Structures are given as C-alpha cells and as structure tokens.
A and B are shown apart, each in its own frame.
Chain A
Amino acid sequence: MSNTSAAMNTSTNGNQPKLSGPLAKASAATYEYLDDRTGLSAGLRRNLRKVFPDHWSFMLGEIALWSFVVVLLTGVFLTFFYVPSATEVVYNGSYVPLKGVMISEAYASTLNISFDVRGGLLIRQIHHWAALLFVVAIVVHLLRVFFTGAFRRPRELNWVIGVGILTLALLAGFTGYSLPDDLLSGTGLRIAGGILQSIPVVGTWGVFLLFDGEFPGTAWIPRFFVAHVLLVPGLLLALITAHLLLVFYQKHTQYPGPKRTNENVVGYPLMPVYMAKAGGFFFIVFGITTLMSALVTINPIWLYGPYMPDQVTSGAQPDWYIGWLEGALRMMPPIEWTIFGYTISWNILVPSVIMPGIVMTLLALYPFIEAWVTGDKREHNILQRPRNAPTRTGLGVMALTFYVILWANGGNDIIALAFNWSINSVTTLMRVLLFVLPPIAFVITKRICLGLQRRDRDKLLHGIETGRILRLPSGEFVEVHAPVDPDEVAVLLSKEEVLPLPMPPKRDANGVRTPGYAIKALRARMSNWWYRDDVPVVTLNELESGHHHAQEQVEIAGTYGVEPTVSEEVTAGHR
C-alpha cells in the first residue's frame, strides 16, 4: 500500500515535463489570483484525482447530460427567432406551398427559422433530435440503474431525483413539441386540453385558467414558451446539478470484478483520463446529433400546415416519449359515468391521469418498496448482476413489457398501415396482450435468471466445459473442464447469499400478541416470495472441493496429452 503522494506520481510516468513559457506563467498567476480569493486548491486537490470506474453503460447518463447541453445551446439560438404569439399573419416567406396562407406568428417564425434563417433548419433539427435523444438516454440510463440495483442504499434519493428529471423531461418535450403551432402539435395540445378537462371538479377550471378561457385561445403560446424556455429547464438544471453532485459525493458504483470491493472504487482518475473522455464524449454526442440533423428530417412542420382546430391529419402522433400515454388512451374501452348530474370520464382519466400517476409513483418509490420487502438496508457500491436479482429483473422486464405494449399501441395506426392489418384487430390484440404478456414476461425472465445462476454455480464448481470428451482407460467417458479465468471467478463470486425475513411469532413467550403482526407477516411472506427459488451461493468449502475436482481433471487430461485450456470462442460463449 503506497501513500497518497506516491499514487499521485504513478500516472505521470515519472518524468513529469515542466510547463514553461509566458502562457504557463500567466496561467500560474491567474491560478494564484483565484486561489488566493476562493481557496480553489482544496477542492482541486481533493477531486482532480477522483477515481471513476470505466464501463460503457456508465456513460448512458452522460449521453443524457450532453444531449441536454446540446438542447440548451441550440435552444438559445431558436429563441432569437421564435415569436411566441398567436397573432394571425399572412405567410410570405420562402416556402411556396404556404405562401399567402393566414397563420400564427408562432408558426410563421418557425417556418422562418426553417427556410429563411441560415443554419436555422439545422439548429432546429439538432434541437429536436437532441431532445429525443435526451429522453431516450434517460430511459436507457434508468434501465441500467434499475437492472443492476444501483438505486439501493445509499443512492435511493438520487433515484428519486432521476425520476423527477424524467418527468420534467417529458414536460419539456411536450411544451416544446407544441410551440411551432403546426397541425400536428395543435392536435396534441387539443388532446392535452381534453384530458385536463376530464378531471373531476377542477377540470373545466383548469382549462379556463391554462388557456385563458376556452380552448385554444391565444394565451397558451406565450405561457408554454415561458414554461419551455425558463421554468422547466430551470428546474431540470437544478435537479441535474443535484443528481451529479450526489454521484460525485457518493462515488460511482462499480461492477463486480477483481480487487473491487464494496469499500473502494477501481478505475481511472478524473484528471486527465476522465476529463478527456467526458469532454470528448460531449463533442461526439454533439457531432452525432448534428450529422443526423444534416441528413435526416425531423418534424417537418411545413408539411403539416398551420393548426386549425377543425383540421386534423391521419397518423396524428406525439413524440415517442408520450407514445405510451397515447397508446393507453387509444386502448381504453369507453367507460363514462354520470352521477348526480356530474360526468366522470373513466375512458380519459384511467389512461391519462390515474395509470401514469400510479406508474410514476411506483417508479419513484421503487427503491423503498424493494428495501422494505427484502429488508436489505446495507450500503451497496458493487452492482448486482441482473441474474442475481431474479425477482427484480423479472419485475423490471414485466414493467417494460407493459410499457412497450402501451407504446406500440400509440402507433397502432402506423402499424396497421405498414403491415396492412386491421387497426381494430391491432387495438384489440394490444388490449389482451397488455394483461397477458407482462406476467409471462415475469415468469420467463425469472426462469432465465435462475438458469443463469445455476450455470454460474456449475462453472464455479466444475470449470468451463470444453466440449472435448476423453475416454479413460476404464472405458469411462469424461468431458474435459478448463479452469475459469480468475477475473471471471471474481464476477461469479459476487452473488450474495439471500436471507428471506423470518416469519414473526404470533405471540411471544408470554403469550402477548406481536404488535403489528399482520404487516410483519405480510412482509415476511413477500420477502420469501422475493427470494424463493434463488440458487444457493457457492460456499468456500464447495469452492475448494470444486477446485480440487477441476485440478484432478486437468491432471487426467494432462496424462492423456490433451491441452486442458479452452479456445477463445468457448470462453466468450460462456460469458
């Protein structure tokens, strides 16, 4: 174990080149000036060599961060040209198929950005593509965090913040989608208005306050604009900052592996490797979204025409992240009640208010629910392999299946058109699948996880099957097993032993009823359900005898001149 100063030197290759020259002198002077006044050194000293573990999946959140930065940068440009006004004007720009048509200033300015401002179309397309990528990356990052159990103590709060970011991202997306005031976005706004209007007691008031009267009015454009460029991004920035600070303070989780423990973090230092990698990745995300915007159209608002509340286009769709709500709304059967002269529209409330409310609440509370069921309140800095948490992985795939079916139904008309199916059959099929597929997905996923656990156990105990059969002098056939790579052993051994909560006694020794027995019993039962079927971990004794067995095998193989190692492909196939 070397001391800190030694560690500082290890990565400078010994011969540290001295920076000199006027530039270096000026930088040094500036640094001293700032350090004298802000005490910069303390923070730098502490954080410049901060270690981050390296894995591609740890960069999913970074994709979200960088695409958000791209959205902010391009958004500023767009505000210089966008006019948040519903005032009707005669379009007189370069796009011939709309020349002379009466349109709102909002739509006219968006056309102006697209056709008459140099680089305007590019920036608009980057803004939209990066916004789509932002939400995609958030969702994929969320899935990574979920399936590896990275939300467990001490990171529950950061999970909740993340769900807040996701919710705000949807809001930012929807308000932005509405601003061009084209036929497609206006239809989306109409639907949002209809949903708001359906809320019992306050719905009508809500519409009148949001739209300054009936739908659509003219107030919504400046209001959505302020929400889109100030309110929502402000909140997003605050939450993203908190999210990153917590990651920084708590240090990143890491995948199991050699030398990696719950108390350390193995990786590369922030300066220089991570600075270069993170900074470089920003430019890569920026570059990829820009190239996409050069080559692929997004939201061709000029094709849709201006919004008129009595016009509509087929294929009316929201951007992808609202698709699941659209799909739910399309799927719901027509149930509406009239009670004492008041209307309750379950056909709107259930898919658009109640279901998403429950989904987002469950999502936000998930870490606490799981911790309550399993009783696991330890700190976890080593990520769990999805197979080693079969119930969670099953639940995750189940929820994902539910989501994807809703999402697919949001495009039921496009599916019907593309595959020449009946839209009614597609919808009816989705209604059935929504309830049938998720439980099946749960069972299958759990079984697969358990199967993988069993294979891991076998691999630990017996090594890798090489597929080479030996015939012993006794006539017995044996398959040659090769020892597992030590790095992989560390991964395989990361599986934790599970201990379901014990059933509480109904009465204690004195015959007094256990307080809160019902809840405790429920919890124990759920914990049992959570952990049952789990494949036992390999104990030290088992491992030793297993090694012994493998060793024997190697010796036998050696005796008969068979190389006991496996080819690269076999190893890769087992990973």
Chain B
Amino acid sequence: MIKRPFAAAMARRRHPLAPLLVIVVALLGIAAVYAVVNAATAKAATSASETMVTKGSKLFAEGCASCHGLNAEGSSDGPSLVGAGAASVHFQVATGRMPLAAPGAQAMRKPPIYTEEEIQALAAYVATFGPGPAIPSAAQIDGWKTADIARGGELFRVNCAQCHHAAGSGGALTNGKYAPSLMKASPLEIYEAMLTGPQSMPVFGDASLPMEEKQQIIAYIEEMKRNNNPGGLSLGRLGPVTEGLFIWTIGLGAVIAAAVWIGAKVR
C-alpha cells in the first residue's frame, strides 16, 4: 500500500540511481553512528570487565573454590575449570546446576542462586584461567529466529534425539545420569551446552556443528517448545509407555465403568 506513492515519487526524479544513492548514504550514516557508539560501549566494557573479574574472583572464592580449588585447579570434589570457558560457567550457574546442592550422579536444574550480573562476573573470572568457549553473543543466538526448522529437525535427530528424545523430553543415561528435557532450556543455554558439553554431554564444537546449524537445532527445539499438540494431550511426549498407562487406566476404566452400569441390577 505504501509502495504506490513511493514509486510515484521515484518516477518524478530524473536519475534512476538516485534512490539507491540515498539508501547508501543512509546506511553509511547508520554505520558511522553504530561504530562510534560501539566503540564507546567497548571501552566501557573493557574497564567494566576488570571490575567484573575482581567481583567474580570474590564470588568464586566464596561459592566455588571449596570444590574446584582456589585457582580452579580442581579437587576430588570437582573438576578443574582451567579452560572451561565463560560459556560453561554461565550455563552451569545460570541453570542452577552449580553450585551443587548435594553430590549425586548428576547436577540437576534448579533456580539459579546468583543474579545474571554475578554469573557474568564469575564467568569472566573463570575465563581468565585459560582459553575456553566464550558466552555466545546475542547475534549468535538470535539467528535461530530465521533459521530453517526442518533442517534443524534433521540435525536434531542425528545429534540430539538419541539422548534427549526425538521430542526433546529427555532420556535416561547410565547409572542414574540422564539427558534432561529441553523444554525449559533457553536458546542461550542450548547453545552453551552444545558448545561446552556439560557433564555427560559431548561437545558439539563450531567446527563439526557450525553456528548456522546450532541455530537451526535451536529453532527446531523452540518449535517443539511451542507445545503444539495437534492430537490433544501430549502425555509428556514420552511415547508408548505413557500411552499404555493411559489405556490401562483411563481407557479401560471408562469402558469397564460402562460395563458395570450395563450389568447393574435395575431398581
């Protein structure tokens, strides 16, 4: 609808390339402004990162060092975090898995005890021990919104479904470990998990699973998370076991109730 007057206006101009020129100039302008602002924030970030590291070191000494060691060298109670990277720390702490509530086969997801800012500080501090995957940027994450869902599904079934279930509802591993349901995981957390391979999970580095493919996988999981159940109640998306339970309880119960009613003495 706005196309028509715009086209008319263009028709009045003499040079056909003029609109293009306008656009190029406008884009350059935006780029210039963006560069300035970005530089400013980057500067702020550098100085901020120093204070974050100091803050993180304090938090680390209080909350993490008892298991992972004062210099993150690890102990019998927790692995070394040298080279774990910021992404790993952010994933573990933001999902509440760390600090560990109690020793067990596997750290469980629970409400995080640190604020996002504190988690960033911790991550920044641990990142200083050795090179590791950094926290993915918003641009890296947000790409999923336009990614190919079907392609993501194919990648998901090859790389993820064997542990997390084709519907992302989770699955059991050996000796009490398990692959958690993905229905609560945010795109950032999923990205970080693929990047760092928390706990039993293998690492899906950017070499074998590039950013675009990770975004496609996230797009597929987000589609699953929409809770789209065309057929009705999902029964936890756990497959034939819950379906069997349902037919033996509710299904059989309903028809037997009818049979009892039919067979009941009248009056």
Contact = CB atoms under 8 A, between A and B. Distances in A.
Given A320-B247, A414-B238, A314 B171 contact: yes
B243 A295 contact: no
A133 B258 CA distance: 14
A250 interface: no
A98 B152 CA distance: 9
A100 B224 CA distance: 18
Given A98-B153, A314-B165, A60 B259 contact: yes
A414 to B, nearest CB: 4
A303 B237 contact: yes
Given A298-B243, A313-B157, A423 B263 contact: no
Contact of A136 (B151, B161, B176, B251): B251
B21 interface: no
A107 to B, nearest CB: 13
A424 B175 contact: yes
Interface string A129-145: 10011001100100000
B260 interface: yes
Contacts of A312: 161-162
A136 B247 contact: yes
Nearest to A58: B263
B233 interface: yes
A299 B231 CA distance: 9
B170 interface: yes
B233 A297 contact: yes
Contact of B167 (A96, A98, A280, A300): A300
B192 to A, nearest CB: 21
B232 A295 contact: yes
B240 A417 contact: no
A203 to B, nearest CB: 27
A292 B238 CA distance: 18
A101 interface: yes
Contact of B165 (A58, A284, A315): A315
B246 interface: yes
Given A121-B231, A300-B231, A423-B173, A318 B240 contact: yes
Contacts of A320: 240-241, 243-244, 247-248
A313 B160 CA distance: 8
B10 interface: no
A436 interface: no
Contacts of A416: 172, 176, 178
Interface in A348-375: none
B229 interface: yes
A365 to B, nearest CB: 27
Nearest to B262: A277
A125 interface: yes
B235 A297 contact: yes
A129 B158 contact: no
Nearest to B260: A56
Interface in A272-315: 277, 280-281, 284-285, 288-289, 292-300, 302-305, 308, 310-315
Given A297-B233, A413-B172, A292 B259 contact: no
Given A97-B150, A100-B150, A133 B252 contact: yes
B230 A414 contact: no
Nearest to B234: A297
A295 B251 CA distance: 12
Contacts of A60: 256, 259
Contacts of A323: 240-241, 244
Interface in A392-433: 410-414, 416-417, 420-425
A132 B263 contact: no
B258 A297 contact: no
A260 B86 CA distance: 81
In this complex, which of B165, B176, B240 has the most chain A Cβ atoms within 10 angstroms of its Cβ? B240
A149 B40 CA distance: 88
B149 interface: yes
A305 B153 contact: yes
A97 B161 CA distance: 15
A199 interface: no
Given A99-B150, A294-B232, A314-B161, A136 B220 contact: no
A62 to B, nearest CB: 8
Contact of B220 (A97, A125, A285): A97
Contact of B157 (A100, A183, A277, A298): A183
A218 B105 CA distance: 43
Contacts of A302: 230
Interface in A298-353: 298-300, 302-305, 308, 310-320, 323
A125 B238 CA distance: 17
Given A277-B262, A285-B255, A297-B229, A303 B150 contact: no
A424 B174 CA distance: 7
Contact of A281 (B149, B235, B241, B258): B258
A326 to B, nearest CB: 10
8 contacts: A59-B263, A121-B230, A140-B252, A277-B262, A280-B262, A296-B231, A420-B178, A422-B105
Given A133-B255, A313-B161, 18 more contacts: A56-B260, A97-B220, A98-B153, A100-B148, A114-B231, A115-B230, A136-B247, A136-B252, A184-B240, A292-B250, A292-B251, A298-B231, A300-B234, A303-B166, A313-B166, A313-B171, A314-B165, A318-B240
A-B pairs, 6 with minimum CB distance: A314-B171, A320-B244, A297-B231, A422-B176, A56-B263, A313-B166
Interface of B: 105, 148-154, 157-158, 161-167, 169-176, 178-179, 220, 223-224, 229-235, 237-244, 246-248, 250-252, 254-256, 258-260, 262-264
Interface of A: 54-60, 62-63, 96-101, 114-115, 121, 125, 129, 132-133, 136-137, 140, 183-184, 277, 280-281, 284-285, 288-289, 292-300, 302-305, 308, 310-320, 323, 410-414, 416-417, 420-425
